[in-house]
A and B are shown apart, each in its own frame.
Chain A
Amino acid sequence: MIEIAIVAVKSALLLFILLTACAYMTLLERRLLGKFQVRYGPNRVGPFGLLQPLADGLKLVFKESFMPAHVDVIVYWLAPAISMVTALFVYAVIPFGPEVMLFGQRVPLRLADVNVGILLVLATSSVGVYGIILGGWSSNNKYSLLGSLRSSAQLISYELALGLAVISVVLTAGSLSLVSIVEAQRRVWFVALQPLGFLIFLIAAVAETNRAPFDLPEAEQELIAGYQTEYGGFKFAMFYIGEYVAIVTMSALLTTLFWGGWWGPVLPGPVWFVLKTLAFVFVFIWLRATLPRVRHDQLMALGWKVLIPLGLLNLVVTAVIVVLRGT
């Protein structure tokens, strides 16, 4: 019983940190975009605008809980919850650091070390797209429908590339557990062994999180807000949280799979992990500030005709090298 309580408290703490981090990511993104676009960004609420996420959150909670007529009621409410829960769920298996000594006890800086960690992450993030598809369909709005259809097409195209890049890493590390994968990078980070795999994963990750330049499902200029068009208030916030948590997830995965996780000189492990993850979050924002949006058929062509063949090639080359080094 006490065990459950401890884990529950640990989970709640982790989720709280995660949600706060996401709230501040919105601030970071807006401030950085401001810098990129020679303007200020939000800097009025609190010092440096630090209380802006709080103000936004309060506003969204007290905003009118609005539901259009002609929607599929149950699905309409379910969709944002799916989107948010699946995004959060991934963090059960992501390792933030090695075991540390705390109050004389060995405390691992992760919630769980599941033997098929990476599979769990991929599976959960695929379920996450249901939130988008169901949300878009249940709204009974044409823009939402088009947005969610785009989203599903995009997801299936890039999940394969993502998976292929991950398999190459698994080959190199010889394990599906994220902890073991990080342990295997003690001497050489996998980005040195898998440069192509890293690039494939990076592109696919941007596409999986529906971020610019692959933000077609919510392309404002064409589809108003895509699948979010009929959502407002906190239901909208849940989609938003889902999206931002997914960005952090992908950044954390990039760190874990390719950039050595918590390994790094001088500074303690968790600090390195956070720093690297932040660097990738920055890359996501940077991309958004720089690139125009691709068109749908171009997106599909890139996924199927470039990334997947490259992914397969990378896999074969990796296997050959592993065999040659093994014998």
Chain B
Amino acid sequence: MPKVLLDWFYVAVFAVVGTLMAVLPLVVVWLLAPRADLPQKTITYESGVIPFGQAWAQFNVRYYLFALVFVVFDVEVIYLYPWAVVFRQLGTFAFAEMLLFLLVLLVGLAYAWRKGALEWV
């Protein structure tokens, strides 16, 4: 197996062992821990009163605008990684290009800021 693949293979084995580490205790606990599900006991906790209303409501998630901005930025940040690695080989032209790219990013951030997308309303 080539070196690169071998390392990935190690990672995969580690992932499997790690998952077992998480699942096995759950099984052990399932077998060992006592259970006593009384109806009063399983009521959802709401500071000591019977819960009213549903938690699964159409809740006002105020920061979905943050989420939109995030998606845009996160994708662009991913583009920066390969550039950063081979930056030295690419020379000044790539540098200028990337500056332009970052400038666009900054303008985008400034626009979102100005439009109030970064305000928690």
Q: Which residues of A contact B (CB under 8 A)?
A: 4, 7-8, 11-12, 14-15, 19, 61-70, 77, 81, 84-85, 88-89, 91-93, 111-115, 119-120, 137, 139-145, 149, 153, 156-157, 159-160, 163-164, 167, 170-171, 174-176, 224, 229-230, 233-235, 238, 296-297, 300-301, 304-305, 308-309, 312, 315-316, 319-320, 322-323, 326-327
Contacts and interface: CB of A to CB of B under 8 A. Distances in A.
A91 B11 CA distance: 9
Nearest to B61: A149
B88 interface: yes
Contacts of A296: 120
Interface string B2-34: 001001111101111111011101101110111
Contacts of B120: 296-297, 300-301
Interface in B45-82: 45-47, 51, 53-56, 59, 61, 63, 66-67, 69-70, 73-74, 77, 80-81
Contacts of A238: 22, 25-26
Contacts of B113: 304-305
A12 B118 contact: no
B49 to A, nearest CB: 12
B93 to A, nearest CB: 11
Contacts of A145: 55-56, 59
25 contacts: A4-B13, A8-B16, A12-B17, A15-B18, A61-B28, A66-B41, A69-B39, A77-B26, A81-B23, A85-B15, A91-B14, A113-B7, A142-B53, A145-B55, A153-B63, A164-B77, A171-B84, A175-B85, A234-B25, A234-B26, A235-B26, A301-B120, A308-B73, A309-B109, A316-B102
B98 A142 contact: no
A90 to B, nearest CB: 10
Interface residues of B, number: 68
Contacts, number: 204
A32 B95 CA distance: 47
A74 B47 CA distance: 25
Contacts of B98: 319
A62 B32 contact: yes
Contacts of A4: 13
Given A61-B32, A63-B33, A92 B10 contact: yes
B121 to A, nearest CB: 9
B66 A170 contact: no
B77 A160 contact: yes
A194 to B, nearest CB: 13
A92 B14 contact: yes
The 9 closest A-B pairs by CB, nearest first: A297-B120, A112-B10, A65-B33, A112-B7, A69-B42, A11-B17, A156-B70, A92-B14, A170-B84
Contacts of B21: 12, 15, 19, 84-85, 88
Contacts of A89: 14-15, 18
B59 to A, nearest CB: 7
Of the listed residues B15, B39, B47, the one surrounded by the most CB atoms of chain A closer than 10 A to its CB is B15
Contacts of A12: 17, 21
Interface string B78-117: 0011001101100010010011001001100100010000
Contact of B30 (A65, A170, A304, A316): A65
A25 to B, nearest CB: 17
Nearest to A322: B87
Contact of A319 (B8, B22, B77, B87): B87
A130 B36 CA distance: 29
Contact of B59 (A93, A149, A153, A171): A149
A323 B92 contact: yes
A85 B18 contact: yes
Given A66-B41, A84-B21, A171-B87, 9 more contacts: A61-B25, A66-B37, A159-B70, A230-B44, A234-B26, A235-B26, A304-B69, A309-B106, A319-B99
